[in-house]
Structure 1
Amino acid sequence: MKIRDIETIKLSSREFYEQDALAVKEGAEHHMDVVVVKVTTEDGEIGYGESIAYGALESVATTIEKILKPLTLGEEVSPVNLWDKMYKSTFRLGRRGIIISAISGIDIALWDILGKEFGAPIYSILGASSRRIKGYITGGYYRQDKDIEKLLDEVKSYIDKGFDTVKIKIGGLKVEEDLKRLRAIKDNFEKVDIAVDANNVYDFNTALKVGKELEKLGIIFFEEPIPTDFPSLSSELAKALDVPIAGYETAFTLYEFRDIILNHAVDIVQADAAWSGGITEMLRIGNFARAFSFPLIPHYSAGGIGFIASLHVALAINSPMIEYHLRYNPLREGLVGEIKYENGEFIPPQRPGLGISLKEEIIKKYRV
């Protein structure tokens, strides 16, 4: 099969941003922007991918259309070979951010086509079985009107849906205020496991101080405590703390994760198919992490295509858990249809490829 065309579909949901608040001070959140990548083969087969575009829809789409599309048109649908070609051909343009996010979307779409060609889900052609995988829910985002009582209501809503593990945002308030929120959850829901996510906001000394307090609370992991740019400092933090350090979702490609893993900067590796380099690169990152006995727990924050892509990889590399959100986001289930879970576990798609069908009415409503 050869590639006949690549199309970008720019989607943006401002409602997502308006109905929740910033994850951290100075703002880690943007409008929910994703570029859906549609790859069509010469025999008419179609595959879909997702590139995360936080505030950069035009830049990601232009990168795909003007730089990556000419490199791939007429080529065989071979995700691994085309990933390497796209990466090597763009070395002057960067090794992180927009370039890798753009490559990610094309790569996911190519795997979708490959699965359809073989008539099997992607995880199946990668040698994995259709097992259920435990999910954890990220929440605790800040809003001016969200007091502790409302935070507890939020956590209870996740429990009512069958989940027993939550990840709560920290770093947007004074340390003691954040700890007060965590203690309230711990006191009210004894059987719930709690992780936290600082979104890179702390310096080393503050992270060390916070980490010591998190140990007392039995927090199961401390995500992105310091900026991703300092793997050696993160390594020192991991050595000094008993609470596991998780990260770094804001790293890109195997090469950056290589330095994180070799430095033992984390205890848990986190990557995302929609921006770390697609299914091809996430598989490489997961297998490299496995060689050092580090689990990879996929990150998730954007559209439904990206989540499903990471779910396929999680099955292929035997991830113990996967992240999910239940806050309002029409580009999640609204875009790809029902994402099935039961008793806090996700049920893999059974149809070929990614196993999704895009909803045209959602594309029409949120298309930019």
Structure 2
Amino acid sequence: MAQPTVTDIRAYVLRGGGADYHDQQGTHWIDDHIATPMSRYPEYRESRRSFGLNVLGTLVVVVEASDGSTGFAVTTGGEPAAWIVERHLSRFVLGAPVTALERIWDQMYSATLFYGRKGLVLNAISGVDLALWDLLGAVRQEPVHEMIGGAVRDEQRFYATGARPDLAVRMGFLGGKLPLHHGPAEGAEGLAANLALLADMRAAAGPDAWLAYDCWMSLDTDYALRLARGAAEHGLRWIEEPLPPDDYWGYQKLRKALPPGTLLTTGEHEATRWGFRMLAEMGCADILQPDVGWCGGLSELLRITAIADAHGLLVVPHGSSVYSYHFAVTRHNSPFSEFLMMAPAADEVVPMFHPQLLDEPVPTDGRLSVSTLDKPGFGVRLDPGLPLHRPYPR
């Protein structure tokens, strides 16, 4: 029986929150003096928006099939990614059977090798791939998690990322991951402040709560080791992405030197099976954290998790809401997930990609039932009232 084919693909952009969750206005914990690679410059230390973390905005990819079905996905990338989708990637999608996900992915990746491989181009490829999975689910009237093998558990547990792990624990989360506020350029005083905040959060969250530090590529090996050693007495569960993502050798060295019981995690800004193969084979991390909207989409995430599983590593995707939930519930090496606390004060559970997605599920008491994902595709709708802009129509 002939499969429907893809008849249209469109790329839109949006500003403000949602998939580009750093694009916030006003006071928000996610933009409050957080250590970054730019923290060595005092003028860019107080706010990540000051150096342009929110310049891209959200990319929305919409695909349509010959039977009238539609699919969509949101990720980051904004206008540059929209251009790539419309003017380059579209040729590999239009006219293809809705089931041709492997061929489409390979053609998109191979055709962009000369200017892609990682970063913005992989964001664009990820957006297209996720939209095609959503479309296939609509055609088959089947949730994505069923199409990739089915759930291996009835519910998914979560930890929370935000400024208040103590509140997260009270909401039922396993614990919390704090943003690191002070980097090497702020010296011994900054390091002491980082450790003091962790001590306060341990006292407030209790002895059994998970506590971790998200370092967002801001440290060097020496500082990361001093931070981890000082944090060990406060039961730090892991130190996340302390080094630049391409410093595989630094991660390898750091992991060997960490205090017993402290894990090293990274991968949020890594892409493709080849990048994660480097992390796995060089022993760079205990937990890999690909973002399904950045690493190459769901098709590539499935390849990445196979590499991780073969090396005995956990895969706990970075944020990404329903796009990672459908994946995680099907994998034994993804036993828990991250939830980004997008309330400005991290004091309540709100949908991560609000206001862009409708019907977006959120954890209750730190848990998400697989039954809440039992809708076609990824199970969410794009808010029809959004001010979508298509900057590069074909």
Q: What is residue 10 of structure 1 aligned with on the other side?
A: 13
RMSD (CA atoms): 2.1
Give the superposition deviation at 1:230: 0.8
Question: 1:252 corresponds to which letter in structure 2?
Answer: A
Which digits, 9 at most, give the CA deviation of each residue in 1:19-40, with x for residues without a partner? 3224324365533821111011
Q: Distance in 1 between matches of 2:180 and 2:390?
A: 33
Q: Distance in 2 between matches of 1:267 and 1:180?
A: 26
CA gap of 1:366–1:180, structure 2 versus 1, over 3 A, is farther
Q: What is residue 364 of structure 1 aligned with on the other side?
A: 387
Q: Distance in 2 between matches of 1:367 and 1:67?
A: 15
Question: 1:49 corresponds to which letter in structure 2?
Answer: A
Give the superposition deviation at 1:69: 0.8
Matches within 5 A, 1:126-275: 126-129=148-151, 131-140=154-163, 154-172=164-182, 174-190=190-206, 191-241=208-258, 242=260, 243-275=262-294
Q: Distance in 1 between matches of 2:298 and 2:254?
A: 30
Which digits, 9 at most, give the CA deviation of each residue in 1:81-110, with x for residues without a partner? 211110011111120111100000000011
Q: Distance in 2 between matches of 1:331 and 1:159?
A: 18
CA gap of 1:79–1:17, structure 2 versus 1, over 3 A, is farther
Aligned length: 346
Q: What is residue 336 of structure 2 aligned with on the other side?
A: 321
More helix per residue: 1
Q: Distance in 2 between matches of 1:108 and 1:172?
A: 36
1:10 and 1:35 in contact (8 A); partners too: yes
CA gap of 1:17–1:214, structure 2 versus 1, over 3 A, is farther
Which digits, 9 at most, give the CA deviation of each residue in 1:227-250, with x for residues without a partner? 111111101111111311001211
Which digits, 9 at most, give the CA deviation of each residue in 1:86-137, with x for residues without a partner? 0011111120111100000000011111122222211111112262111111
CA gap of 1:292–1:219, structure 2 versus 1, over 3 A, is same
Q: TM-score, normalised by structure 1?
A: 0.88
1:44 and 2:61 aligned = no
Q: What is residue 20 of structure 2 aligned with on the other side?
A: none
Identical columns (%) = 27
Q: Distance in 2 between matches of 1:230 and 1:156?
A: 33
Give the superposition deviation at 1:158: 2.2
Q: Which of 92, 95, 102 is residue 74 of structure 1 equivalent to?
A: 95
Give the superposition deviation at 1:277: 0.6
Extract unaligned runs of 5+ from structure 1.
Answer: 141-153, 301-305
Question: 1:24 corresponds to which letter in structure 2?
Answer: A
Question: 1:279 corresponds to which letter in structure 2?
Answer: L
Question: 1:96 corresponds to which letter in structure 2?
Answer: K
Question: 1:19 corresponds to which letter in structure 2?
Answer: T
Question: 1:189 corresponds to which letter in structure 2?
Answer: A
Q: Which moved more, 1:23-32 or 1:66-75?
A: 23-32
Question: 1:85 corresponds to which letter in structure 2?
Answer: Q
SS of 1:342 mapped into structure 2 = coil
Which digits, 9 at most, give the CA deviation of each residue in 1:306-340, with x for residues without a partner? 42111111122231111111224887143223413
Give the superposition deviation at 1:267: 0.6
Q: Which moved more, 1:315-324 or 1:278-287?
A: 315-324
Q: Distance in 1 between matches of 2:83 and 2:352?
A: 21
1:333 and 1:339 in contact (8 A); partners too: no
CA gap of 1:225–1:163, structure 2 versus 1, over 3 A, is same
Structure 1: 4+ residue segments shifted above 3 A: 154-157, 328-331, 365-368
Q: Distance in 1 between matches of 2:282 and 2:292?
A: 23
Q: Distance in 2 between matches of 1:199 and 1:320?
A: 23
2:182 and 2:193 in contact (8 A); partners too: no
Q: TM-score, normalised by structure 2?
A: 0.83
2:341 and 2:352 in contact (8 A); partners too: no
Question: 1:188 corresponds to which letter in structure 2?
Answer: A
SS of 1:341 mapped into structure 2 = coil
Give the superposition deviation at 1:171: 4.7
Give the superposition deviation at 1:214: 2.2
Q: Distance in 2 between matches of 1:214 and 1:24?
A: 17
SS of 1:124 mapped into structure 2 = helix
Matches within 5 A, 1:258-337: 258-300=277-319, 306-318=320-332, 319-328=334-343, 332-336=353-357, 337=359
Q: What is residue 123 of structure 2 aligned with on the other side?
A: 101
Give the superposition deviation at 1:155: 3.4
SS of 1:19 mapped into structure 2 = coil
Q: Distance in 1 between matches of 2:181 and 2:221?
A: 13
Q: Distance in 2 between matches of 1:224 and 1:274?
A: 18
Give the superposition deviation at 1:71: 2.3
Q: What is residue 85 of structure 1 aligned with on the other side?
A: 107
1:354 and 2:366 aligned = no
Q: Distance in 1 between matches of 2:169 and 2:284?
A: 32
Give the superposition deviation at 1:216: 2.0
Give the superposition deviation at 1:265: 0.3
1:340 and 2:362 aligned = yes
Q: What is residue 63 of structure 1 aligned with on the other side?
A: 84
Give the superposition deviation at 1:352: 1.1
2:122 and 2:271 in contact (8 A); partners too: yes
CA gap of 1:249–1:346, structure 2 versus 1, over 3 A, is same
